[in-house]
Structure 1
Amino acid sequence: MRIGILGLGRIGAFHAETLSALAGVESLVVADPFADAAKAAAERFGAQVADSPEALLAAGVDGLVIAAATDAHPELIRAGVAAGVPVFCEKPVARTMAEGVAVLEAVRGRGVPVQIGFNRRFDAGFAAARTAVRSGELGKLHTVRCTTLDPAPPPPAYVAASGGIFRDCSVHDFDILRWVTGREVTEVYAVGGNRGAAHIAATGDADTTGALLTLDDGTLAVVSNSRHNGRGYDVRMELHGFTDSVAVGLDDKLPVRSLEPGVSFPAGVPHDFFMDRFAAAYRAELAAFTEVVAGVRPSPCTIEDALEAGWIAEACTLSRQRHRPVTLAEVRGT
């Protein structure tokens, strides 16, 4: 099959490398507003260069991967669906929830699959956690803990356009919480602080946050995030049930030191980058997209899924701003 890629920045170039090595992908067509980025990808992966999204879609692509800036996502998703081309788009669907809902309404019922990029759904540990929950081996859940800690804050330009830590970072925890447990969040209470980078505080955002989420069956979930984790990139999930407890992310590259006498775990070099931590998950995610393109599986992460995680982020943002619990019904306006 022939796959088009719009956007050849860090993640777009990474996707180009991954796709070029996947069985069934015969060729790539790439486009980027920065001609040098597209040219470099073309030379590296033997791709064809298109000078615009329209030209790329007209080049006979079977699937479209959108790795462009967030502001371009709504228009590009619509364009791909209008052309009848299955779409993979990195999260988020749009900068605001209103824009995201508008995209959903525009493409609903068109019969063209759209997959949104939440790569943790394709990580082996999270998949095993989902199986453990769904099989009942943990018993009834009472507590879930999710953590995403970045080794260093993103640059000012990224922070200014990210929509805030809940929408940019925590949203991965919100999505995987829903996917693993099969439950919906009904209420949140979120707090945040600034202990580091001045450019984050200057935007009104927090660099370290905590959120207490109540699920629709009464399970409590704690989500902890920070832009400052000097030891490395830390992504974990713990699930505690009445029968058993399990954890994701407890490997030898865990960026935490144990101070217990005689304990050598973790023994490896800590994870320091999300592409290192989730390299296999990204490959599995794009392999799944080729199956969506081939018509042998439905989208494993729909626009609806992405918007559900987005509503949780919206509620946490409002909760932090107003210093009170916020229900999901409140932010939805229902």
Structure 2
Amino acid sequence: MIPGTLRRATAAAETRRVALIGAAPGSVEASWLAACAGPGLTVIGTGRDGPRTLSLVQDGVDAIVLPAAEPAYRELILTALDRGVAVCCGPAGSTNVPAAAELAAAARRSGVPAVVAFPWRVHTALRDARQAIAAGILGELLTFDCTSHEDPSGVVHQLDLLRWSTGQEWTVDTVWANPGAAVTSLGLRTGPSGPYARILTSRLGRGEPRFQLTAIGTRATLLVVVNPRDGAGLWRLTCGSSTGERVFGATSRNPYPEFLTSGTGPTFDDALAAHRLARAAERP
């Protein structure tokens, strides 16, 4: 299905023109978008600087894709949304809450597909983990632990994963970081008697990349371990003396197919909520 907002009414063959902006050839974003290529989809690459980007939006591309909603692309994103051009971008690397709020408000007003790419949401093992929590297989959720080592995605992605996986809103309770900020640990709660969550990130420049999610409930414990490089890992559910486990190979985290086929995905409001949590963790 091609969403109406990604389709030009004048196009005889429903060909969409998607501009990839700010991503160098060979980047993960370029590879992900190339994997979506096929009849009816034309990708226009502009490189990192993208001098033609604003004119592309003005001239009628159907969608723009950016690695992140960085300040340099603020005008471009706002112009695209105002002109009815669909937008998909990663969250900004900085915790600029006012900027995130401005983009979220513009996305709501536009009425066109406006998606923030959170690739961990796409991974099938983490989708299964979310479903297990929502279905009550774990019982009442007690703790949720998300640990990442040498994962380039960053804490905003882990905070979004916490909200999305549990379906609950959280507040920052404790913050610990070493002097060099290579290791950071956040403690979060939903309320005085609610579950407790920990988000731990380490960027020490050594060892293999590793992502691990552990959710403990009153009935069962769920463990998901993933290599951020290729998405391979294991999924294990333990209930009493019974354990079910599956090992999986390389698994995609490509967020673009959902955006291009249905115009859906995480919203700019989701990104705003994650940025607010990350900003709260920075305050003394």
User: 1:225 and 1:174, CA in 2 relative to 1: closer, same or farther beyond 3 A?
Assistant: same
Which structure has more strand as a fraction of its residues? 2
Q: TM-score, normalised by structure 2?
A: 0.79
Q: Distance in 2 between matches of 1:310 and 1:18?
A: 25
Aligned partner of 2:189 in structure 1 is 214
Q: Is the 8 A contact 1:237 1:249 kept in 2?
A: yes
Q: Is the 8 A contact 1:57 1:80 kept in 2?
A: yes
User: 1:25 and 1:147, CA in 2 relative to 1: closer, same or farther beyond 3 A?
Assistant: farther
Q: Is the 8 A contact 1:139 1:243 kept in 2?
A: yes
1:281 corresponds to 2:253: yes
1:313 corresponds to 2:283: no
**SS of residue matched to 2:154:** helix
Which runs of structure 2 are paired with 1:247-286 in the superposition (5 Å)? Answer: 247-249=223-225, 280-282=252-254, 285-286=255-256
Residue 243 of structure 1, aligned match among 205, 216, 219: 219
Q: Distance in 2 between matches of 1:187 and 1:89?
A: 26
**SS of residue matched to 1:280:** coil
**SS of residue matched to 1:92:** coil
User: 1:314 and 1:2, CA in 2 relative to 1: closer, same or farther beyond 3 A?
Assistant: same
Q: Distance in 1 between matches of 2:23 and 2:106?
A: 26
Q: Distance in 2 between matches of 1:105 and 1:250?
A: 34
Q: Distance in 1 between matches of 2:133 and 2:117?
A: 23
Shift of 1:28: 1.0
What's the C-alpha RMSD, in Å, of the aligned pairs? 2.8
User: 1:291 and 1:4, CA in 2 relative to 1: closer, same or farther beyond 3 A?
Assistant: same
Q: Distance in 1 between matches of 2:83 and 2:170?
A: 35
Aligned partner of 2:202 in structure 1 is 226
Aligned partner of 2:172 in structure 1 is 187
Residue 160 of structure 2, aligned match among 175, 198, 206: 175
**SS of residue matched to 2:186:** strand
The runs of 5 or more residues in structure 2 that have no matched partner are 1-15, 234-246
Shift of 1:60: 3.3
Q: Distance in 1 between matches of 2:207 and 2:94?
A: 32
* Identical aligned residues as a percent: 26
State how many pairs are aligned.
250
Which structure has more helix as a fraction of its residues? 1
Q: Is the 8 A contact 2:172 2:186 kept in 1?
A: no
Task: Give the counterpart letter for 1:173 in structure 2.
Answer: Q
Aligned partner of 1:144 in structure 2 is 144
Task: Give the counterpart letter for 1:20 in structure 2.
Answer: A
Aligned partner of 2:269 in structure 1 is 304
Task: Give the counterpart letter for 1:186 in structure 2.
Answer: T
Shift of 1:177: 0.6
Task: Give the counterpart letter for 2:206 in structure 1.
Answer: G
Runs of 4+ aligned residues of structure 1 deviating over 4 Å after TM superposition are: 250-254
Which runs of structure 2 are paired with 1:51-200 in the superposition (5 Å)? Answer: 51-67=51-67, 70-92=70-92, 96-150=96-150, 169-194=154-179
User: 1:130 and 1:21, CA in 2 relative to 1: closer, same or farther beyond 3 A?
Assistant: same
Summarize deviations over 1:227-257 as a string: whole Å, max 9, x none.
1162211111111001111111168966xxx
Shift of 1:9: 2.8
Task: Give the counterpart letter for 1:280 in structure 2.
Answer: S
Shift of 1:33: 5.4
Q: Distance in 2 between matches of 1:68 and 1:230?
A: 26
Aligned partner of 1:16 in structure 2 is 30
**SS of residue matched to 1:109:** helix
Shift of 1:25: 5.0
Mean CA deviation greater in 230-239 or 72-81: 72-81
Summarize deviations over 1:49-88 as a string: whole Å, max 9, x none.
xx41122224432211023672223222202112211100
Q: Distance in 2 between matches of 1:229 and 1:143?
A: 28
